[in-house]
Amino acid sequence: MTNNAIFRTCPDTGLRFHGPAETLIKLNAVAAVVFLLVGGIMGIGVGLTRWPEVHLLGPQDFYTTLTSHGINVLIFWIIFFEIAALYFVSSVVLGCRLATPKLGYLAFLLMVIGALVNNYAVWSLSSAVMMTSYAPMPAHWAFYLGLILFAVGALIGCFIFLGTLVIAKKEKTYEGSIPLVTFGGLTACIIAIFTIASGAIILVPTLLWQLGYVSNIDAGVYRLIWWAFGHSSQQINVATHVTVWYMVGALVFGAKPLSEKVSRFAFVLYIAVLQIASAHHLLVDPGVGTEWKIFNTSYAMYLAVMASMVHGLTVPGSMEAAQRARGYTNGLFEWLRKAPWGNPVFSSTMISIVGFGFLGGISGVMMGAEQLNLIVHNTLYVPGHFHATVVLGTTLAFMGITYWLVPVLFRRELILTSWCKWQPYIFGLGMTGVSVFMMGAGTLGLPRRHWDAAFTSSSFPYEFPSSAMALMSLNGLSVVLAAIGGGMFCLVIVGTLLFGKKVGQEETFPRVMVATPPTEAQYVTLHRSGNAISGTLLLAGVFLIAFVVYYFINWKYLAETWGMS
């Protein structure tokens, strides 16, 4: 076999980087950040229009901006980053060459072209059909073509990941079973293939419809298949950000999973049950039956939720165990107090875990119950919920690992280190506000995606409670804070690529990039003490109580909407 590929061994991490893999990881990660920047700027436009006192944009611009925001962040930022992550957890983690790098460049090119074509359609071919692009609301054919090209590129990326696993196995670059983070990547990849297939099944006919080859698209069927694609893609995000959580545990604390088997099983649950949970997007659709809705959104969906709760317990639990093994054993929380809160890799991850669990998770289960769904369906509650999942959860996790990846990949020291320290908190706080205030306004009935929060220019005026308007103003302020945090991130990263102090290929960074794991002996002593994860268990208890209380409050609230007594 002719293998003239270049490898370098990273002096800080000991990882073996295959040249083309490294280049592709860099390209995809940089493209991701660029689309985050574009989408984030759109987010400011959306948020400032939803702020009643500011009401920045007119209706046409608002819907265009909202469409652009949703697609650029949720599709382009996240998926470019995920492709980079897949290449990393295969080629780099397994220390083997990347399969077919040439196809990798082709995939990247297709994704870039697709993203540009789609953006062009949104902005210049009046295709403000929102991220969900529900037919029969038509977009220009170029809108669908752009998405399809992007998806084909991403699909090639998935196959390159699988091919790389095969190479690693054949060339025996690892022993035993693949590491947990690679397993998490494999989970994401399998879900991604299902997702992209569903996307093709729905988007290709829609493209043909706009080109005049298909006469009409059934709205109900469209929504059913679209959500097989739309929901599953969220599960790719969850699988990937959970993978990042485990990775950060290992990098920052040298933590090892409490139980590999349990963690792997929880990943498998994602693959097994997530598709059915797509039904939670169709809970008020007339075309599908009640039994179908209830079965799919309760019995099966809760297994996916359980899987996330397992990860939510084991990741902090493994961090706690590692810290305690090292000697931070005082009280319930010394391990947490003494954690590196000034290190953005860690703080981003912690905010991601807590925000995803408490805000995103609990609200998602609430909305996923058929009856409760009615009180918040199509209100601002929905974007409130998913900003907790895809922004606090996924985006912050990705930001956190980027703080680690950029120095390692580009051999440059981060610039503006005090900004790096504060950025996760500013972004996290702003985004918590965005999530909570939108959920609050939604609970009071404010509709989703409406250009005019106060309905002032509506021909059928409607008075929302003044508290709802106050929440929207608070949301506006939070949008500004989140935008500052997001801007800081983009600036630090782009600035580092351009101006960061160079660190030679043989030099090391002046800080520890990969923590040394505690020794087996330290773990043994810890287990004898019998409280390896007592702090985490207490936090999990708080979580479960919050969960039950919030669920109950919403049933109570639902009962009160029927003034029959």
Residues that bind ligand HEM (CB under 6 A): 40, 43, 46-47, 50, 66, 69-70, 73-74, 78, 130-132, 380, 383, 387, 390-391, 395, 434, 448-449, 479, 482-483, 486
For residue 433, the partner it binds in Cu ion, ligand HEM, none, with Cβ less than 5 to 8 A by kind, is none
Position of minimal CB gap to ligand HEM: 70
Minimum distance from residue 79 beta carbon to Cu ion (Å): 17
User: Smaller CB distance to Cu ion: residue 354 or 390?
Assistant: 390
Q: Between vectors from CA 338 to CA 335 and to CA 340, what angle results, nearest 5°? A: 115
Site for Cu ion, residues 231 to 270, rule: CB under 5 A: 231
User: Smaller CB distance to ligand HEM: residue 255 or 482?
Assistant: 482
Q: Which residues contact 430 (CB under 8 A, 6 or more apart)?
A: 478, 479, 480, 481, 482, 483, 484, 485
Whose CA is closest to 310, among 416, 238, 234?
238
Q: How far apart are CA 103 and CA 167, in angstroms?
A: 16
Owner of token pair 């498998």: 268
User: Smaller CB distance to ligand HEM: residue 45 or 316?
Assistant: 45
* Helix runs in 444-519, H state only: 466-499
Helix (H) or strand (E) holding 7: strand 7-9
Cβ atoms of 111 and 155 within 8 Å: the answer is no
* Helix runs in 411-449, H state only: 417-443
Cβ atoms of 344 and 420 within 8 Å: the answer is yes
Q: How far apart are CA 75 and CA 67, in angstroms?
A: 11
CA 491, 71, 441, 53 dihedral sign is positive
Minimum distance from residue 33 beta carbon to ligand HEM (Å): 12
User: What tokens does 564 get?
Assistant: 């029959």
User: What tokens does 259 get?
Assistant: 């139980």
Helix (H) or strand (E) holding 46: helix 19-50
Minimum distance from residue 226 beta carbon to ligand HEM (Å): 12
User: Smaller CB distance to ligand HEM: residue 71 or 107?
Assistant: 71
For residue 199, the partner it binds in ligand HEM, Cu ion, none, with Cβ less than 5 to 8 A by kind, is none
Helix (H) or strand (E) holding 198: helix 180-211
Whose CA is closest to 451, among 44, 43, 49, 42?
49
Minimum distance from residue 451 beta carbon to Cu ion (Å): 25
Minimum distance from residue 360 beta carbon to Cu ion (Å): 11
User: Smaller CB distance to ligand HEM: residue 78 or 154?
Assistant: 78
User: What tokens does 251 get?
Assistant: 């990098």
User: Smaller CB distance to ligand HEM: residue 23 or 475?
Assistant: 475
Helix (H) or strand (E) holding 116: helix 101-124
Mask 21-50, x = binds Cu ion (CB under 5 A)? ------------------------------
Minimum distance from residue 74 beta carbon to ligand HEM (Å): 4
Cβ atoms of 182 and 94 within 8 Å: the answer is yes
For residue 434, the partner it binds in Cu ion, ligand HEM, none, with Cβ less than 5 to 8 A by kind, is ligand HEM
Minimum distance from residue 284 beta carbon to ligand HEM (Å): 16
Q: What is the DSSP letter of 369?
A: S
For residue 236, the partner it binds in ligand HEM, Cu ion, none, with Cβ less than 5 to 8 A by kind, is none
User: Smaller CB distance to Cu ion: residue 69 or 231?
Assistant: 231
User: Smaller CB distance to Cu ion: residue 27 or 130?
Assistant: 130
User: What tokens does 356 get?
Assistant: 């995803």
User: Smaller CB distance to ligand HEM: residue 198 or 379?
Assistant: 379
Minimum distance from residue 97 beta carbon to ligand HEM (Å): 32
Please measure the distance between the N-terminal and C-terminal CA atoms of the chain and give it in whole angstroms: 80
Compute φ and ψ for 323, nearest 5 degrees.
-65, -45
Cβ atoms of 416 and 495 within 8 Å: the answer is yes
User: Smaller CB distance to Cu ion: residue 278 or 323?
Assistant: 278
- Rule CB under 5 A: say whether 385 interacts with Cu ion: no
Whose CA is closest to 177, among 263, 298, 278, 75?
263
Minimum distance from residue 478 beta carbon to ligand HEM (Å): 8
User: Smaller CB distance to ligand HEM: residue 21 or 244?
Assistant: 244
Position of minimal CB gap to Cu ion: 231
- Rule CB under 5 A: say whether 69 interacts with Cu ion: no
Minimum distance from residue 231 beta carbon to Cu ion (Å): 3
Helix (H) or strand (E) holding 43: helix 19-50
For residue 231, the partner it binds in Cu ion, ligand HEM, none, with Cβ less than 5 to 8 A by kind, is Cu ion
For residue 424, the partner it binds in ligand HEM, Cu ion, none, with Cβ less than 5 to 8 A by kind, is none
Site for Cu ion, residues 215 to 234, rule: CB under 5 A: 231
Minimum distance from residue 536 beta carbon to ligand HEM (Å): 27
Partner residues linked to 260 by β-bridges: none
Cβ atoms of 356 and 389 within 8 Å: the answer is yes
For residue 390, the partner it binds in Cu ion, ligand HEM, none, with Cβ less than 5 to 8 A by kind, is ligand HEM
User: Smaller CB distance to ligand HEM: residue 439 or 533?
Assistant: 439
User: What tokens does 439 get?
Assistant: 């959920």
> 7-9 and 16-18 as β-strands: parallel, antiparallel, unpaired?
antiparallel
**Residue 95 region by backbone torsions, left for phi larger than 0, else alpha for psi between -120 and 50, else beta:** left
Q: How far apart are CA 197 and CA 318, in angstroms?
A: 36
Minimum distance from residue 31 beta carbon to Cu ion (Å): 26
For residue 47, the partner it binds in Cu ion, ligand HEM, none, with Cβ less than 5 to 8 A by kind, is ligand HEM
User: Smaller CB distance to ligand HEM: residue 21 or 468?
Assistant: 468
The footprint of Cu ion on this chain (CB under 5 A) covers a number of residues equal to 1
Minimum distance from residue 131 beta carbon to Cu ion (Å): 13
For residue 428, the partner it binds in Cu ion, ligand HEM, none, with Cβ less than 5 to 8 A by kind, is none
User: Alpha carbon of 539 to those of 70, 451, 507: distances in Å?
Assistant: 33, 40, 41
Binding site for Cu ion (CB under 5 A): 231
